[in-house]
Structures are given as structure tokens and as C-alpha cells.
A and B are shown apart, each in its own frame.
Chain A
Amino acid sequence: MIYLRYEFNDKEQADTKIEALGEDVNAAFIRLNKLVMTEGAYDSEGVEITAPILSLGYAVDVLWRDLDASPYGWKTYEVTPTIPKHKLL
């Protein structure tokens, strides 16, 4: 079992990669979309002063239950952030 983080170009690419694994894959996929890297700033009325900075790609975290490394075709998209913006409870 291994927990790995990936960043794809967009949601469509992520969905395609997940669907290509078939129905028998034993894994939990966590589709995270873009992540907020830096919070935006807002005034007391909630009006945006500075926009939040988002990650570039589409983030997916995966718990592979029967693997100890990325499956074929996934390694390219693996990321290892210094300060992860998402984690498992």
C-alpha cells in the first residue's frame, strides 16, 4: 500500500488516466482540482483585494492498496510537495 500525489494537466487527463486503470484497480482516488497555494486577501465586505494563487495542474492523490509504486504511465505525473496542501486523516 502506498499513498502518492499526482498533478495532471487538467481534469480530463486525470479522468482518462483513472478510467484506463479499469474497474478492478484497488485504490482510493481523491480528485482535488487545483489547490490554493496562497490565500487571497479580502476587505471587511468580502471584496477581493488580492486574488488567491492556485496550483497550475489538476491534483489527484491516490491510496494504492495493492501497489508500492505508481502503476505504468503514472510516474510522470507524480509530485512530492514540500508542504502538502492535502493529506489523509
Chain B
Amino acid sequence: MSLLDKATIITTPTAHSNGKLHSIKGGAVADFDVVRGSAATRVNAEGLIESVAINTPRIDYTTGEGVILTEPQSTNLIVNSELNNVENILVSAVSHTISFYGTGSITLSGTHSATLVGTGASDRVSLTFTPTAGTLICTDSGSVDKKQVEELSYSTSYIPTSGAITTRLGDVVTGAGDVNTFNSTEGVLYAEIASLTQDDTYRLMGLNDGSAQNRINITYNNETNELVFYCSVNNLSEFLFTKTLADTTTFHKCALSYKSNEFKVYIDGVQENVQLSGSVYPANTLDTLDFNLGNGAFPFYGKTKCIAVLKEALSDEELTCLTTI
């Protein structure tokens, strides 16, 4: 039986519709529900920024390859993102990021002093800084387009504004599969993913029973560049392995194979950890694949090229093959 035959869900950045991210294997029950209470933007396959409707998944081509883009809520604090002008922004003393497209420059004054210089009409430049609390003044010079100031340590997808600061709400991706889709006694959770940034928040995806008690997760940790593989049964940790990567913002192929007394982690074709102890679940426990902890907390914000679940624990050779670049 091939790896493809053993997979019960495979989701890639391909088919989607309003409110649904369709899986390429597993039938309709394997599709994810997608909720985002606002519109958003993406870079399409032609490299152009376009609007995406409420609750519609985003296949983003910023890097040239399509990825499932899931982002946190963010507000563009610029009132008119496509007008050349001077803007006052009331800021707190926390990390902010300014970005724009064009060949001009934006000079910051008031609560922070800096100048961000553009490099091209199609290039986005950004600067992360921490101002003092108060009024930040942004003064444009030359060609400046699609301006964005966010209270984040990195820039997110463009949020156009016209006459008011504007918020894009976070992406919520949940609910693929059911109790018949997954094998609770053994299997593999696989993901090819990259983080949006090396930030200090937990970002989880994985299998669960609708709670935080029974779950198998692949997680970006709240420590820089840490990737965590975790299994809990009735809220007891049965397996935990943490790998520090050189850079989580680059894509990695990750697999966690689980069965009773055998947990294995593979990343990019390399066996990273084996644990020959630990329990798993009674049959028919796991029933959902979510981009979060299982109870909605710690959503996975990142880029996903593939997420899959296989119904058998795999051999070393199979896991090497599955995760080899």
C-alpha cells in the first residue's frame, strides 16, 4: 500500500470555496471550515494583490508558490493607505512594523525617528521598531503605495484603508474529518509548514477530540525557532519533543508517527526522535483536525503547503520518504 493510499486526509493549497478549504483526499468530510469575519487580501498567482471575501481561504503566492495563508487579526493604523500625505498615529510602546511598496520613502518622527526607503514599485519594504507611547508622525516622500503600520513585530498581508483605520480579522481553520477519518490507535500527522515570523506565541495544528485533553500537535513554540511535537492522552503528556530549527520561517516537512509505545519524529528526511514508551488513545477518540489546540486556543498562523493524516504508523523508510525534500 502506498503512502497515498494510507492517507485519510491530504490538504494542499488548491481547491477552496466560501467557508471551505477543500482537501484533495478524504471526501467532503475532510474539508476544513474557514471563518474570518472580515475580508482580506492575498498575492495571487500573477503576483497582484487582490481582495478575498469574508470566510474565504487564502492561497497566497507572495513567494511564487501557493501556500495556505493563515494570519492573526491586525489593524492598519494608517487612515489612507494609498494617499501620499502626513499621518498621525497614536501608538503604544510596543513593537510596530511599517511597510509600503514604491521607490519613495516614509520618515517617522514624533515617538520614533527613522526613515524607510523603498526599493521598487513592486517591492515591499518594512521596518520593525518600538516607539515611545504617543503620537507617531509618518511623512511620505516620492512614490509610496500601500502603506501599512501594524502593532506587530512583522508585516502581514496588505490591509487597504480609505478614511479610517481598518482591521483584518484572524483566520480560523477547523473541523476536518470525523471519528471514522482517523485511527486513534496509530497513525501519522504530517505537515509542510513555515511560520510567519519567529515570534513568541504558541501556534498549533493537529488532531484532537474537540478538547485540549486528547490531542496530537505540531506546534511553533513561544521560544524562537522551536518546533514542538506533542501527544496528550486524558490531559497527560505521553510524548513531547522539541526541535530548535535554524529558521522556522522557511518550510519544513514534519511528521509525528504515533502508536502505543512508539513515537517517532522526522523533519526533512531526518529522524529527530524516537520514544519507545507511552500510551495512545482508545479507538474512536480522535475526531477532528484543526489549525489550533483543539479547543480553539492558540490558532496556527503560518504558511501551509500540505497537511495530511495517515491511518498507520509508518516505518523509518516510509517516514524518511514522506519528509524528504
Contacts and interface: CB of A to CB of B under 8 A. Distances in A.
B219 to A, nearest CB: 19
B110 A89 contact: no
Given A28-B73, A28-B170, A88-B169, A33 B92 contact: yes
A48 B166 CA distance: 26
B135 interface: yes
Contacts of A83: 163
Contacts of A86: 75, 164-167
A84 B164 contact: yes
A77 B37 CA distance: 22
B128 interface: no
B290 to A, nearest CB: 15
Contacts of B159: 89
A89 B137 contact: no
Nearest to B52: A89
Interface residues of B, number: 30
Interface string B95-109: 000000000000101
Interface stretch (A13-21, A35-43, A68-76): A35-43
Interface string B70-89: 00010100010000001111
B90 A33 contact: yes
A36 B107 CA distance: 19
Contacts, number: 78
A30 B73 contact: yes
Nearest to A40: B88
A40 B107 contact: no
A24 to B, nearest CB: 9
Interface in B26-46: 37-41
A89 B38 contact: yes
Most buried by B among A36, A87, A89: A89
B143 interface: no
A35 B137 contact: no
B302 interface: no
A36 B87 CA distance: 10
A46 B88 CA distance: 11
A89 B139 contact: no
A63 to B, nearest CB: 5
B135 A40 contact: yes
B305 interface: no
A33 B135 CA distance: 12
B37 A28 contact: yes
Pairs of residues from A and B, 7 with the lowest C-beta to C-beta distance, nearest first: A46-B109, A88-B38, A52-B88, A89-B38, A89-B39, A89-B168, A63-B37
Interface of A: 1, 28, 30, 32-36, 39-40, 42, 46, 48, 51-52, 54, 61, 63, 65, 83-89
